[in-house]
Amino acid sequence: MSKTLFFLFLFQVTGSLYGQSLPAPFRLRTDFLLHTSQVSKNGRAVDIPLPVAIQKKNAYQFAMITSRQPVFSWQVKERIVTEKAFRILVASSPGLLEKNQADCWDSKKTGSTGNPIQYNGKPLRNDKIYYWKVQVWNENNEPSSFSAINSFYYKAKDSSQAFSHYPLTADLQTPLEMIKKDPGSWFLDFGKDGFGQLQLHLDSEVTDSIWVEVAEALVRPYELMASTGNIRYTKIGLLVEKGDHHYAIQWPPNEKRNRRNNPVLMPDYIGEVFPFRYVMIRNFKGKLDQQSVQRKMVFYPFEDSASWFSSNDTVLNQVWDLCKYTEKATSFSGYYVDGDRERVPYEADALINQLSHYAVDPEYSMARRSMAFVIYYPTWPTEWSLQNILLAWNDYMYTGEDSFLKEFYTELQKKLLMPLAGENGLISTRTGKQTPDFLASIHFPKSFDNKDALRDNVDWPQKGDFIGKEKEFGGETDGYVYQDYNAVVNAFYYRALVLMAKIASVTGHDNDALWYTRKADEVYTAFQQIFRDPQTGLIRDGDSSSHTSLHANMFALVFGLVREKDIPTVIAYIKTRKMACSVYGAQFLLEALYDNQEGSYALSLLNSTGQRSWYNMIRSGSSITMEAWDKLYKPNLDWNHAWGAAPANIIVRKMMGIEPLTPGFNTFRVKPQLGELKEVSVKTTTIKGEIIVSCKRTEKEESYSLFIPGNTRAKVILQYHPERPTLYIDNIPFTGQPENGFFVVPELAAGHHKLIIR
């Protein structure tokens, strides 16, 4: 063997050449923030060093790390199959780190199975910049080189800034289309709706007033929908001076919204924003081109390249694009809000936002800010209080970090609503147990929307006159019959108890964990006795009702309350109801279907072109998911509601089956259920790195390509077909036997893999 070939072989086997270290960790995060050294001004990135910017805090914006013990996390290349140890250096100057010295914290070489890792050095000083880097060791105890140096600004936590966060950012966009309609009038289209501001650079022949109109929708080609409702439109007069000048349009404040239920207000460095796609400029005498009009679109930092999806189904591809863009466009406030009408975080909106955001962009601080907000500013639906526990558990599973669970443990206990339980163990809002002390304990406002207590929701809106060929009942509750004891509310109660037991165990409350487990078992038994129809096995709406709805059954199914022998009957019933729920309920309907191997039927709902579908939103002209399936079902719907973006997470989590099995994606599952799709490819990025799954299916074989990031392992579950009995993994036959109709590969290590079924 030649020397060249020998050293090439040595490099491939050992990962080093002439003593070269393993690849350095990268994408360093401090408290889950990636871009902690980036400086911006009024939303736009500027080339100003962080040490300079903190001396002029009123002029610049930058990420603020508010935790006294921030957590550090990073990614490693797939060559590091397992990270066995780390060393973190934290210093007050980059010069010390360049010499591998640390005056704040040197963790030394510490054994670990992964990150994030909590800071454990000298107390951080307020209003200071700190610098850190990290080195890791692999499964063979080989060291990597140190990472690049990362920096962050520490600001002691106050009540207004509960979690580390970024400032808002902005893109300057020019219109994609510009049409001169008549002398002095222009129509402009930015291609998609977005929350932002309008900037004009006008060269006018005269000093005169012009009219500027902006809107989200059109009534016909090139004519703005001049609505005063929730599909936004506004018209503003502007005095234009002769000559070449810049103008920034000032949006009028929405006084009704800004006085209701603690709305999230825009920061001063950004100013007010308005959702619009189309612009009309009238009565302008002068030169105008596409560079004359710019939209400053505002959003929370978003990594467009972190995810993608494509398939041979063009409708499904458009639905994905709609929902992914929705997550970016509706992040304009830095919180998960309910669209433009109120700009208020709601628990149910936040839950769907959270999962969809995680699927399209590995960003976790916005979710945490929203989770803290809804704990102290709750909304009225009973089951939405219970969703606080679901939100907290999702955060832990996706980040692998338990500080939120620990900090809010007592508050999460209160959100279980256990004082509402009756002798049967189930909870009810209608049996006189909502005392002032109880409501105060969950931070319920004394006067919320002219009501003074929690109310069962099930789905929204509850009422509505329009029915039509795709809808049997008014409203979005499938004719649900509300009773003292409500099946949907208690399905959420059961799920919250199950998760609260896990949260108690994670946070060291072992006795609580046992108690919540026992309570969950009691609720399961009571649920079967009170809500299960013994003749049919279906779930009834309430304790004294014989009515059976989609909602009672799909929520029971998704939360594990349907007995195994009843599952086929319940699924068959669910299929008869079609999409008899709102865009919110669709999240749980699709989860229930995929969790029970009903991928083909679930796909028929995802790519439906009916009136109650995501494609109908696109067909209606919206580029952000709408609050409801159509204006017919909710006349006051808005066009910028992210609780309608469930497919963003359903496609990743359920159709492609990519979900964490252990906290922080140390291990994760891949279980594709592709229905009739022939080709599909997805990329989603996690706290550990990007996961890529592609599939191509022919009559003879199914071919899967899988990329697993460093320091993770994947459990792969693929459907078994008797006519294609053999699975090959990287060209080697898999010796395991099919289990319940699936090939189950217990573990694949980091790297690229090829799986073929033929």
Q: What is the per-residue pLDDT for 230?
A: 87
Confidence class of residue 223 from pLDDT cuts 50, 70 and 90?
very high
Rg (alpha carbons) of the chain, rounded to whole number: 27
Q: What CATH class is the domain 304-655?
A: mainly alpha
Q: What is the per-residue pLDDT for 10?
A: 39
CA distance 274 to 215: 9
Q: What is the per-residue pLDDT for 15?
A: 41
Taking all residues of the chain, what is their mean pLDDT, rounded to a whole number? 94
Up-side HSE of residue 549: CA atoms within 13 Å toward CB?
A: 25
Asked, as a colleague might, if the bond just before 419 is cis with ω within 30 of 0, I would say no
Out of 2.60.40.10, 2.30.40.10, 3.30.230.10, 1.10.760.10, the CATH code matching 23-154 is: 2.60.40.10
Domain 667-757 part of CATH 3.40.30.10: no
CA distance 491 to 485: 11
Inter-CA distances, 562 with 236, 304, 512, 552, 593, Å: 56, 39, 26, 11, 13
Instruction: Give residue-wise pLDDT tens across range 422-446.
Output: 999 999 999 999 999 999 999 998 7
CA distance 492 to 556: 9
Collect all residues with Cβ–Cβ distance below 8 Å to 534 and sequence separation of at least 6: none
> What are the tokens at 672?
């594709």
Q: What is the per-residue pLDDT for 260?
A: 55
Q: Is the pLDDT of residue 534 over 80?
A: yes
Out of 2.60.120.260, 3.20.20.80, 3.10.180.10, 3.40.50.720, the CATH code matching 169-299 is: 2.60.120.260
Q: Residue range 498-524: average pLDDT?
A: 98
Q: Residue range 212-218: average pLDDT?
A: 97
pTM greater than the 0.75 cutoff: yes
Q: What is the per-residue pLDDT for 256?
A: 61
Instruction: Give residue-wise pLDDT tens across range 240-274.
Output: 999 999 999 999 877 666 455 689 999 999 999 99
Residue 734 CB coordination number (10 Å): 16
Residue 305 CB coordination number (10 Å): 9
Positions of CATH 2.60.120.260 in the chain: 169-299
Collect all residues with Cβ–Cβ distance below 8 Å to 560 and sequence separation of at least 6: 494, 495, 498
Up-side HSE of residue 508: CA atoms within 13 Å toward CB?
A: 4
Q: What is the per-residue pLDDT for 584?
A: 98
Q: What is the per-residue pLDDT for 18?
A: 38
Positions of CATH 2.60.420.10 in the chain: 667-757
Cα torsion angle, 376, 338, 487, 646, sign? negative
Q: Residue range 387-408: average pLDDT?
A: 97
